[in-house]
Amino acid sequence: MDVLILLPILMPIIAGIGYLLTSENTFGDRSRLISTTGGLIIISSVCAVFAIIGFAGDRLVLFNIVDDVPVYFAIDTIGKIFASIITLVFVLAGFFSFKYMSHEKNEKRYYGWYMVTYGILIGLSFSGNLVTMYLFYELMTLASAPLALHSCTRESIMAGLKYMFYSFCGAYMALFGIYFLYKYSKTINFVAGGALNVSLINQSGNTQLILIVAFLMILGFGVKAGCFPFHAWLPTAHPVAPAPASAFLSGIIVKGGVLAIIRVVYYCIGADFIRGTWVQYVWIILAVITIIMGSALAFKEKVLKKRFAYSTVSNLSYILLGLSMMTTNAFTGSILHVIFHAIIKSGLFMFAGAIIFTTGKTKVNELTGLGKRMPILYLCYTTIALGLIGIPPTSGVVSKWYLAVGSLDSGIEGLSWIGPVALLISALLTAGYLMPISIKGSLASNINEDAIKKYNEPSLMMLIPIAILAVITLILGMYPMPIINLISDISASLM
């Protein structure tokens, strides 16, 4: 049964490659392309659910690169959490795209890369050691870049190249660290609490060297997570991609960097080795800078999708801040925010896509009065926006609570209080750049009725995925304890 682990990885990859290798007229008409793609999305997600539930076994050695370096899959709880949220967004963004992509060219190519990227992300989630994770991490960059490049305009091509350049540079910094961890670890497999051979490091006198390695790996994988000073690719690449691709990129792809940092810090090096060192302090400071900077840039930005992209920069560093504090509550808050942010940000980019598809408007100041023509869409948006701000009873308040408490729990002199302060400032800025869209969209009085009367609610194919994400944002805010208990068990084993 262990070989069934490969099914949710290989099936979408093979299907996607099939799409890319066949001619444009393979499916005949668009309806056949959509029905085939919809079926493949459902089958791929069902295969992933079977693996997550445990029907596919929990570990598999595929082959050995060298004698003691296998390509190895092992499904643990963290991997299941990431695979679950990846699958949820994959399905909803996929069905959203069936309507949205009708006004884009090269649909088949888009769906091909979309399927390949999903399979690679599941492989990343189920990776059992550093080398396997790195392999799928690099493949994730290569497969997701065509989603940003899809329109093939000069702007999108330059954005895609920038995305790849930043990502590869960050990945090479991490690869440099893998060489040293291979030498100074008991195993390159992921072990809760870390697998460093501390006695060997102490004997060789290379403690500072391994701390430098740890910092380079955090910084390198942090590129994908948009951490300062390597965040600039994100607000460039995400806005030029089709909206469903932006939802997948901003909600999911960037979490690949978060997962890699979690694996390195908590499953390879170990929190105890980094806690109390300069690495932890610099990491905290970089995360706080990114939180404030991302929120401030989002507040100033007038282009809707770019505003949401800067928001992603800020919110990903909420997660990194929690991970850097290295307490059980902060870790719990980070994983909660991984889940909640994926849902919320995917919903925001789908909202932007629905607006762009229906009206052609791309700037915030062009949206005045649209809420009166699209009340359901704006209700969903407002619910999701409240979740990102952290207003009860939405989910965002739960993760921010744990992040704030976890920061105070750290007891780091001069830095433990900085987390709650940064979260509060960012929440105020978030309210400042999200809520005016709702207020001006639905409550503004100086509306040119003639200018907006031609607009109506988007089609159900776009509206339903957004509504589902809005409902999930509420439900997870009101009933978060099952997820909290699951994550708390993980964090206890890692600290």
Is position 169 within any domain? no
Q: Given a cut of 80, is residue 320 above it in pLDDT?
A: yes
> Residue 379: exposed, middle, or buried by beta-carbon count in 10 A (0-12, 13-18, 19+)?
middle
Q: Given a cut of 90, is residue 158 above it in pLDDT?
A: no
Is position 229 within any domain? no
pLDDT in tens, 207-234: 999 999 999 999 999 988 878 788 888 7
> Residue 154: exposed, middle, or buried by beta-carbon count in 10 A (0-12, 13-18, 19+)?
exposed
pLDDT in tens, 161-204: 888 888 888 888 899 899 999 888 888 899 988 888 888 888 88
Peptide bond before residue 393 is cis, with ω within 30 degrees of 0:
yes
Q: Cα dihedral sign for 357, 362, 364, 367?
A: negative
Q: Cα dihedral sign for 96, 46, 467, 255?
A: negative
pLDDT in tens, 233-246: 878 877 778 888 88
Residue 73: beta bridge partners?
Answer: 60, 127
Is position 348 within any domain? yes
Is position 40 within any domain? no
> Which tokens in the block code for residue 72?
């190895």
Give me the DSSP letters along 225-277. TT-TTS-THHHHHHHHS-HHHHHHIIIIITHHHHHHHHIIIIIII-HHHHTTS
Q: Cα dihedral sign for 334, 335, 337, 341?
A: positive
Residue 383 domain boundaries: 275-495
Task: For residues 492 and 409, give the distance between their C-alpha atoms in angstroms, rounded to a whole number.
Answer: 14
Task: For residues 407 and 283, give the distance between their C-alpha atoms in angstroms, rounded to a whole number.
Answer: 13
Is position 125 within any domain? no
Q: Given a cut of 90, is residue 288 above it in pLDDT?
A: yes
> Which tokens in the block code for residue 342?
């994926």
The share of the chain scoring above pLDDT 70, in percent, equals 97
The values of phi and psi at residue 60, to 5°, are -160, 130
Count of domains for the chain: 1
Task: For residues 290 and 314, give the distance between their C-alpha atoms in angstroms, rounded to a whole number.
Answer: 6
Q: Given a cut of 80, is residue 139 above it in pLDDT?
A: yes
Per the model's pLDDT, the better-predicted residue between 205 and 319 turns out to be 319
Instruction: Give the type of residue at 374.
Output: M
Question: Could you count the other beta carbons within 10 Å of the beta carbon of residue 155?
Answer: 11
Is position 432 within any domain? yes
pLDDT of residue 493: 84
Is position 485 within any domain? yes
Q: Report residue 373's pLDDT band, with 50, 70 and 90 as the boundaries.
A: confident
- Report whether 249 contacts 316 (CB < 8 A): no
> Which tokens in the block code for residue 105?
């060219």
Is position 469 within any domain? yes
